[in-house]
Structures are given as structure tokens and as C-alpha cells.
Amino acid sequence: MTAIDRLDGDDTFPKLLVRNAWRMPERVALREKEFGIWQSFTWKQYGEHVRDFALGLIALGLQRGDKLAIIGNNRPEWVWSEVAAQAVGAASVGIYQDSNLNEVAFVIDHCDASIVVAEDQEQVDKILDMMDKLPKVRHVIYTDPRGLRKYQHPALLAFEAVEAKGRELGAQRPDLWLESVRAGQADDLAIISYTSGTTGFPKGAMLSFRSLLGMALNLHEVDPKRPEDEFVSFLPLAWIGEQMMSLSSALALGFTVNFPESPETLSEDTREIGPHVMFAPPRYWENVASTVQVKIMDTTPFKRFMYERLLPVGKRVADLRFEKKPVPLSWRVLYRLAHWGLFRALKDRLGFSNIRSASTGGAALGPDVFRFFHALGVPLKQIYGQTEIAGISCIHREGDIQFHTVGQPIAETDVRISEGGEILSRSPSVFAGYYKNEEATRATLVDGWLRSGDAGYLTEDGQLVVIDRLKDVMKLADGTQFSPQFIENRLKFSPYVKEAVVVGNNLPYLTAMICIDMGVVGKWAEKNKLSYTTYTDLSAKPEVYDLVQVAVDEVNQTLPAAARIQKFVLLFKELDADDEELTRTRKVRRGFVEERYAMVIAALYGEAPAVDIDTTIKFQDGKTARIRTTMLVRRLDLGKAA
């Protein structure tokens, strides 16, 4: 029996919604914070909104096989729109809310969307400004009316107006809703999820309900969720990782999804909810750990004393568990005291008191961060997957955390390594192909195996180790191989480093361009009475170079002598998706970055101690700003890393 067979015929998102609304109508399905107040929606209300909007879409002419695009923040209206489109037989296509005009236009046009659901005035303006480039779009539906009352565009409709059309159609044809839901099948196209696009325009991965739900249930076998669980949804719903949790898993398993009011209130909103399940990229967990460290610097001497004495107790117990050794009674007693003296209050402050399932993926997470959370009692695990396999193929098992691995394959998933060292996967969750790109599909799906593009290997106990993107494994001029991503990830283990780009392909030695973490370094500067004005000013300080060099030296000590960083610069700005330097999932577009910063790279391989910068940066709204500064080039004494 496959995972999806266990759903007893409820094999699509709309069917699961109807089931949940019938079985547990008064249980809270969604919760949204607005104006400081949590608004709850039961499964019954969830179902009613989806029903009315789906029938409204039918009234607007949306048909089976059509596409509906959605752009906006994580809100109930997003999931209502998605499931409503799927109930009609259409596929939904998510667009990152911070995408620029070119990215939005490409996705909408490429996926052939005839209707776009845009959250607010900002997103509506993006679409209306490009309507001449989007001839396939017939309607633009907004969910937040603020600022849109006087808009008169003929394609523009309010979400509530579409629901009203649906209620009218439902009164005329009362059987239409369930007839449409029943027509859906497990192998229907559910979503088109656009990949990161690190080397150009993104590709649209076609995922069926079978793929999405099969993955959710197979993950549930090794990382269980419960109907009474709470989950905080704050990662973009256009990303497969958030689809995996807020749609696939939530509909299949029935837990509650909570939408914070804003990114700025995420910490406090998480504390109010007290989630049982958390899924976030490494940067989130690193930021939480860094924030704790920064606040400890400012706390009272007594609290700092307690933290410095009790945290090592938690780390010692965590290390014993990582090593699969028994925890002696004396350490168990000490840990209990540390829990009551520190960990319980700290977890409550972070909103982690109830966490039973915590996972991270997308990049490597530093051992120190793992140890920190396990010391507190947060069971953080590493996962691995990709859009084309519906999100996840591997995860750490309970009690078997190995920092350098991403765990073992979940049920119904096979992983092997090709002769060329590439990670290959096979499972019922593998995608159907790339939308309108058969050539890329043939290159990615070979004899039923999904090519990941990642280099890796399997350990003796069957755990997967990911090294880097296969195409990004590079060679120095003397033939020495190195993995830039491997080194970059380890540089980012430092709380002071937000992003790093390692350069050296076909060059005599390795160098790095590093972005500091403004929040953490700024706090350090204030504590050390180092004045500064802007990010550019702070990153140019010799004292900040000294601070970051400590992290670079530590990484160099772990690298072969021929593959150590010999020079680095601190960039005058953060790498930014709006400048096309990062994808919307914060992956470095390496080729673009190396081209854009060619002058900086030339300085790293020259003899000059600094490089003058005169450049223009671009903001999301299309505006630009000019930056003029001088960047230091720091040469390292590799004798210290020997």
C-alpha cells in the first residue's frame, strides 16, 4: 500500500478539505493575526470560503486545466485561492511576494495564468502596470481593499465579490461544488512550483496531488504530526517547503496553520502560538541563536552568570546523545536543574516551549547551532530535498543526529549515488516534468531517477552527505578541487557572517567576498564603542575586518592547505534578490555575482590593499541609489591556519 492509498480515496487537496470540514467542523484550521488580534477560521469556514471562491472562479470562466497565479504574503486567502482553483480542476502557481516586475511577468506569462490573485495594492500595481505584457490574464483579484477603492480597471475584482458570484452560482446549481471536487484525481496537476533560477529564469516543476500528499504522509511516518498541533507559516507560500507544510501536511493530517501579522512580529507571534511543529531554513535558526547571544550581552550580571554556567550542561548532555552514549544520573540531575533554572524560561521566550518537531533544510547548519538548540531541548533535525521531489527525500531520525549528514531517505524513497558522484532519487513524489520544457525534463528525469545536480555520498549507515552543487565543484589553477558552497556554509556558521561567496575557479588561490550580519556586528560595535553610520561604513572598519578574520581563520584550519582562503573583502552591501544577486529563496546566483563584482575579484588577485567602488544598486520598486566607497582587501597569514 502506498502512502496516498492510506487516505481512503481522499486523494486531492479539495477532497481532504471536504473531509476535514465534515469530520471536525469546529476545530480551528487557520489562524491569522491582524491589527494585533488573532482571527480564527474553523475547518467548516475554511471549506465555505473555498467553496464560494471556487464557484466564483467557475463563474469567471476558469476551467479544468487552466492556471491561477497567486502573489502575496502568507494569509488565509492564499490557501483558499489555491485549493479553490484546484477544486475547479485548475493548477495554482505561487509567485514570491518580493519578486520584481520582470520575475512576476515571466512566471505569469510562462505558466499561462488566466486569473491572478494579488494580495494588496502593491501587488495589484505590479500586475496592472504590466497588463499590456500579459495578454492571457483576464482577471486580477485582490484580497486587501486598502488603497484600491478608487481603482477602476475592468479586469480588477475584489475577493469578496468573487465569493458573492460563487454563492449565486451555488444557489442556482447546488450540486456543482461537490461534483467539481469529486472530479479531481490523485494524478491531476496540483501546482506548478517555480525553482530558484540560480542560472537564469526559473523552471516550472509540475507536481500532482499524488506527489505532494505521498511525500507528506511518508514524512509523517518518521516525523509525526497530530491534528491538535500548531504550526506557524512564515516562509513564502510560493516555496515548495511551505507548500509541504501549510497545504500538503496540514490538509492530510489536520493541524492548525497560523499566519503571523508581519515579519517584524514573527518572534512575538510565535511565542503567543507556542507551535508544536517548526520548519525553517538555517538562517532562521542561526538568527535565533545569534539574537539570544546578543541579548545575553545586555542582560544583568546574574542572568549572564546563569547562562554561562547552565548552557554548557545542556550542551554536554546533547553531545552524549549525539554520540549515542547513556547520560549518567549526575548529568541528568544537572540537566533537570538547568531546565528549571534557564532552559524552560528561554524556550518560553522564544516560543519553543511546545516544539516536538523542528527541522531545517536548504543549506548546512553549523554544529554549534545544532548543539545550542538540542541543549535547550529543541529536537532540531536536518532535512534534504528539492522542488522536483515535492520537498523532502531525507531527514534525520530521532536520536540519530549527525551534523555532517542530512539523514536517511523517508519511506518509498530510494537514494543512490551515480558514477559521477551525483545524488539520484526515486519515489512516487517525483514531479511530472517541467512545464513547457521537455528538454530540461529529459535531462533531469533519467530512467525513473531524479537527478539532483548535487554531489554527495552515502555513509556506511545509510545517511546522505551533501557536498555541493555538482556544477559548482571547482578546481584551482593547479588542479586542486574545492567546493565553494561547502566553504561558504562554514563561513556562515559565524554569527557575524550573513553571506559569503568563495572565488577561485581556475585561479591560483581562493578568495572570499563576505557580507556581514548588520544586526549582530552592529551590536558588537556598540558594545565595543565603535561608532558607525551605515552598513557600508560599518563593513569598512578595520576592527570589523579583524572580527570576521577570526571566523575565516577558523574555517581555514579545517581546509586542506592548498584550498584555504588567502584574501577576503567585506562587501559594501548585502547581496540582494532585488539586485538579482540572490534567488528568491536566497541562493547565490554565482555567475551573475562574479560578473557584477569583477572589479572586486580582480583586486583580490592583485597587489592593491584596497579597491574603490562606484556603483548603482536597485530597489524592489525600481528606484536606484549610487554608492561610492573604498573596500579594504585583507590578506591572511596562512601560517596561523597550518
Residue 640 pLDDT more than 60?
no
Predicted local distance difference test score (pLDDT) of residue 5: 62
Q: In what order do the strands lie in the sheet with 634-635?
A: 497-503, 510-516, 565-570, 634-635
Q: Are 385 and 477 members of one domain? A: no
pLDDT digits (tens, 9 = 90+) for 207-248: 999 999 999 999 999 999 999 999 999 999 999 999 999 999
Contacts of 272 (CB under 8 A, 6+ apart): 38, 351
Residue 261 lies in a domain: no
Predicted local distance difference test score (pLDDT) of residue 469: 80
Bridge partners of residue 462, in order along the sequence: none
Residue 408 lies in a domain: yes
Please state whether beta strands 624-632 and 610-618 pair in parallel, antiparallel, or not at all (unpaired).
Answer: antiparallel
Q: State the Cα–Cα distance between residues 39 and 48, nearest whole angstrom.
A: 16
CATH number at 418 reads 3.40.50.12780
Residue 410 lies in a domain: yes
Q: Are 478 and 464 members of one domain? A: no
Q: Are 432 and 481 members of one domain? A: no
Residue 607 pLDDT more than 50?
yes
Mean model confidence pLDDT for the chain: 91
Q: Are 374 and 499 members of one domain? A: no
What does the DSSP assignment read for 404-425?
T---EE-TT-EEEE-TTSEEEE
Predicted local distance difference test score (pLDDT) of residue 620: 55
Please report which confidence band the pLDDT of residue 481 belongs to, taking 50, 70 and 90 as the band edges.
Answer: confident
Residue 4 pLDDT more than 70?
no
Tell which of 429, 451, 468 closes a domain: 468
Residue 480 lies in a domain: yes
Mean pLDDT within 618-631 = 71
Q: Are 337 and 420 members of one domain? A: yes
Q: State the Cα–Cα distance between residues 254 and 235, nearest whole angstrom.
A: 20
Residue 288 pLDDT more than 80?
yes
Which of the residue ranges 230-234, 260-264, 282-286, 324-328 would you say has the lowest mean pLDDT? 282-286
Return the amino acid letter for 155: A
Q: Are 493 and 636 members of one domain? A: yes
Residue 277 pLDDT more than 90?
yes
Q: Are 462 and 498 members of one domain? A: no
Residue 198 pLDDT more than 60?
no
Contacts of 218 (CB under 8 A, 6+ apart): 3, 410, 411, 412, 413, 427, 429
Residue 262 lies in a domain: no
Q: Are 288 and 153 members of one domain? A: no
Residue 626 pLDDT more than 90?
no
pLDDT digits (tens, 9 = 90+) for 33-49: 999 999 999 999 999 99
Most confident of 189-198, 447-456, 615-624: 447-456
Q: Measured in whole angstroms, how far is the alpha carbon of residue 375 from the centre of its chain?
A: 24
- Asked if residue 312 lies in contact with residue 331, where contact means CB atoms within 8 angstroms, the answer is no
Residue 552 lies in a domain: yes
Range of the domain at 45: 9-185+235-249
Q: Are 434 and 501 members of one domain? A: no
Other beta carbons within 10 Å of 503: 23
Residue 583 pLDDT more than 90?
no
CATH number at 598 reads 3.30.300.30
For residue 396 the three cell numbers come to 534525520
Contacts of 536 (CB under 8 A, 6+ apart): 572, 573, 627, 629
Domain count, the chain: 3
pLDDT digits (tens, 9 = 90+) for 342-393: 999 999 999 999 999 999 987 778 788 889 999 999 999 999 999 999 989 9
Please report which confidence band the pLDDT of residue 495 belongs to, taking 50, 70 and 90 as the band edges.
Answer: confident
Q: Are 453 and 493 members of one domain? A: no
% of residues, the chain, pLDDT over 70: 96
Residue 1 lies in a domain: no
Tell which of 416, 440, 468 closes a domain: 468
Mean pLDDT within 412-434 = 94
Return the amino acid letter for 177: W
Mean pLDDT within 560-589 = 85
Q: State the Cα–Cα distance between residues 583 and 243, nearest whole angstrom.
A: 18
Mean pLDDT within 244-270 = 95
Residue 8 pLDDT more than 80?
no
Predicted local distance difference test score (pLDDT) of residue 623: 66
Q: Are 488 and 603 members of one domain? A: yes
Residue 263 lies in a domain: no
Q: Are 293 and 427 members of one domain? A: yes
